[in-house]
Amino acid sequence: MKAQPTASHFIDGAFVEDTSGAVIEVIYPATGAVLARLHEATPALIDRALAAAARAQGDWAALRPVERARILRRAADLIRAHGEELARLETLDTGKPLQETRVADWPSGADALEYFAGLAPTVTGETIPLGRDFIYTLREPLGVCVGIGAWNYPSQIACWKSAPALAFGNAMVFKPSEVTPLSALRLAEIYMQAGLPPGLFNVVQGRGAVGGALITDARVAKVSLTGSVPTGRKVYAAAAEGMRYVTMELGGKSPLILFDDANLDDAVGAAMMANFYSSGQVCSNGTRVFVQKGLKDAFLARLKERSEAIRLGDPLEEATQMGPLVSQTQLDKVMGYIDTAKREGARLVTGGARADLNSGYFVQPTVFADVTDDMTLAREEVFGPVMAVLDFDTEAEAIARANATEFGLAAGVFTADLTRAHRVVGQLQAGTCWINAYNLTPVEGPFGGNKASGVGRENGHAAVQHYTQVKSVYVGMGPVDASF
Ligand code: NAD
């Protein structure tokens, strides 16, 4: 099986190769087979990409918003028209089953293109009357934006960053994760086909050092990172040095609180979606499942039964519901957390081992019960199909324990008592919350984290503030009142 792209990079409207860059091997996680060999961007290529973006951005910003929007909408249509091919590519790159990549990854990227195309022409300033004089404000693009992606949602992340950037008149240089470098190159091709002028969306490949070189360049106005908290700290600090805008979409250890009066099947289904979708490799996953004591036994029994029925296997098979983890590194990390959970006394309810399938990086859907707040499993982001179930008695206790973490990405509450649901959500320290739902992130809603989980918001109207800046223009209408 091969998925070799035309070249490693896409710069100024064309595929570009430079084999002097270090090799990046693209591995199919379901078998360990090498799908493609790419090269990291050299300093000369990074410079070319930034120069192209800086050159192209001015003319792009000068277009009417409806003209920019038309191109983004065409790109959204192309993504939908190539849906099956793109889903397969994402499955090869990430190991996620087709059942997911057909409906979640590129489709949510297309939604972002369509949404920001619609929003672009509505972005306006305001007029502030001052009696005789007045001020008007303009919302201007930032300039050249750098996007740096994680490997868990590569196509979605590339679209969620580039769509608002481009819609509001910016240019972007995007560096995908070195683990999943393929889909961003397809997105660049699609943008070109849709009529995006050269230089506005460039893709350079590489590991952390390439990201580092991008964010410290003087031509860059903004950095949007999706990644882990430790990487976020480094990137934020480097961006601060150059006084650049940032959006930080980072990790989490989000609480999902299930009260006794929750609908049992909904609670179980949500907990499974919040831990096993994408083999648990979702930033906003509800990995600390707080279950009120009256619901606990029924919850665990149903959860075990449904978890053991999950069809794990070849992600290209239509029937497969769960695929492998993305890489050997991730597999080792997740197995390490499972061993630690066992050693620290968590009770294994189901799973807890590798699944031996075609030398892929498969882990069984795993549930631990009787997890306590001090266990590693309750404190650190695992990023694998490992659910921690914790018991609680009272609402106040659940809220306090849910908030006792450095993270603040997401949170969920299941209860039949709507008053309680809103009261609890009002006290949860998380950027994105769900009531009787979990992990639904339509582009219409702002998404992002509090505390160590991030800065800024993607999607929704909130994204306007993160890809534009305000210019304030004072207009003097009369004689200058000079004191001298
Ligand atoms: P990572 O932090 O290892 O890498 C993220 C990206 O940063 C990669 O492209 C990497 O090459 C780059 N990078 C690494 N060091 C860098 C440096 N010093 N300077 C510039 N760039 C650098 O994360 P990952 O393992 O790819 O992804 C998983 C993490 O992403 C998890 O923590 C997950 O929670 C998080 N995530 C967050 C969101 C969100 O929206 N909040 C979404 C998806 C994933």
Place of tokens 């693209």: 26
Strands 468-475 and 133-141, by their bridges, are antiparallel
Task: List CB contacts of 374: < 8 A, sequence separation 6 or more.
Answer: none
Tell whether the model's pLDDT for residue 1 goes beyond 80.
no
- 308-325 pLDDT, tens digit per residue, is 999 999 999 999 999 999
Residue 390 identity (one-letter amino acid): L
Q: Which pTM value belongs to this model?
A: 0.98
Question: What's residue 428's pLDDT?
Answer: 98
Q: Which atom of ligand 1 is nearest to the CA of 148?
A: 9
What percent of the chain shows pLDDT beyond 90?
A: 99
pLDDT (tens digit, 9 = 90+) per residue, 257-311? Answer: 999 999 999 999 999 999 999 999 999 999 999 999 999 999 999 999 999 999 9
**Which one of the listed residues 114, 249, 381, 395 is annotated catalytic?**
249
CA distance 85 to 298: 42
Span 148-178, pLDDT tens digits: 999 999 999 999 999 999 999 999 999 999 9
Q: Is 249 known to be catalytic?
A: yes
Nearest residue to 126 via CA among 118, 117, 135 = 135
Residue where the block lists tokens 């943008």: 191
Catalytic residue among 175, 283, 381, 395: 283
Closest C-alpha to ligand 1, atom 1: 227
For residue 414, give the nearest of 280, 255, 251, 308 by alpha carbon. Answer: 255
| Burial degree of 388 (CB within 10 A; 0-12, 13-18, 19+) | buried
Q: CA torsion, points 293, 297, 299, 304, in degrees to nearest 10?
A: 140
User: Residue 226: CB within 6 Å of ligand 1?
Assistant: yes
Alpha-carbon gap, residue 215 to 237, rounded angstroms: 10
Enumerate the β-bridge partners of residue 10.
15, 203
What span, in angstroms and rounded, lies between the C-alpha atoms of 252 and 16?
Answer: 36
Whether the CB of 251 sits within 6 Å of ligand 1: yes
Report pLDDT for 356. 83
3-state secondary structure the chain: CCCCCCCCEEECCEEECCCCCCEEEEEECCCCEEEEEEECCCHHHHHHHHHHHHHHHHHHHHCCHHHHHHHHHHHHHHHHHCHHHHHHHHHHHHCCCHHHHHHHHHHHHHHHHHHHHHHHHHCCCCEEEECCEEEEEEEEECCEEEEECCCCCHHHHHHHHHHHHHHCCCEEEEECCCCCCHHHHHHHHHHHHCCCCCCCEEECCCCHHHHHHHHCCCCEEEEEEECCHHHHHHHHHHHHHCCCEEEEECCCCCEEEECCCCCHHHHHHHHHHHHHHHHHCCCCCCCEEEEECCCHHHHHHHHHHHHCCCCECCCCCCCCCECCCCCHHHHHHHHHHHHHHHHCCCEEEECCCECCCCCCCCECCEEEECCCCCCHHHHCCCCCCEEEEEEECCHHHHHHHHHCCCCCCEEEEECCCHHHHHHHHHHCCCCEEEECCCCCCCCCCCECCCHHHEECCECCCHHHHHHEEEEEEEECCCCCCCCC
- Average pLDDT of the residues in 336-349: 98
- Check if 249 has its Cβ closer than 6 Å to any atom of ligand 1: yes
Q: Are residues 192 and 78 in contact, defined by beta-carbon separation less than 8 angstroms?
A: no
66-79 residue pLDDT tens: 999 999 999 999 99
Q: CB of 170 within 8 A of CB of 144? A: yes
Residue 49, pLDDT score: 99
Neighbouring CB atoms inside 10 A of 446's CB total 18
Answer yes or no: 458 catalytic.
yes
Residue 411, amino acid: A
pLDDT digits (tens, 9 = 90+) for 222-262: 999 999 999 999 999 999 999 999 999 999 999 999 999 99
- Residue 223 CA to ligand 1 center (angstroms) comes to 13
Phi, psi of 134 (to 5 degrees): -155, 165
| Any atom of ligand 1 within 6 Å of the Cβ of 152 | yes
φ, ψ of residue 86 in degrees (nearest 5): -70, -35
Q: Which atom of ligand 1 is nearest to the CA of 229?
A: 32
Question: Given the structure tokens 């250890």, which residue do they identify?
Answer: 253
Q: What percent of the chain clears pLDDT 70, i.e. is strictly above it?
A: 100
Distance 208 CA to ligand 1 centre (A): 9
Mean pLDDT of the residues in the chain:
98
* Residue with more model confidence, 2 or 345: 345
CA distance 10 to 15: 4
Between the CA of 149 and the centroid of ligand 1 the distance, in Å, is: 6
Tens of pLDDT, residue by residue over 63-120, are 999 999 999 999 999 999 999 999 999 999 999 999 999 999 999 999 999 999 999 9
Q: Are 91 and 98 in contact (CB under 8 A)?
A: yes
- Give the position, in ligand 1's atom list, of the atom nearest the Cα of 151: 26
Token pair belonging to 73: 């909408």
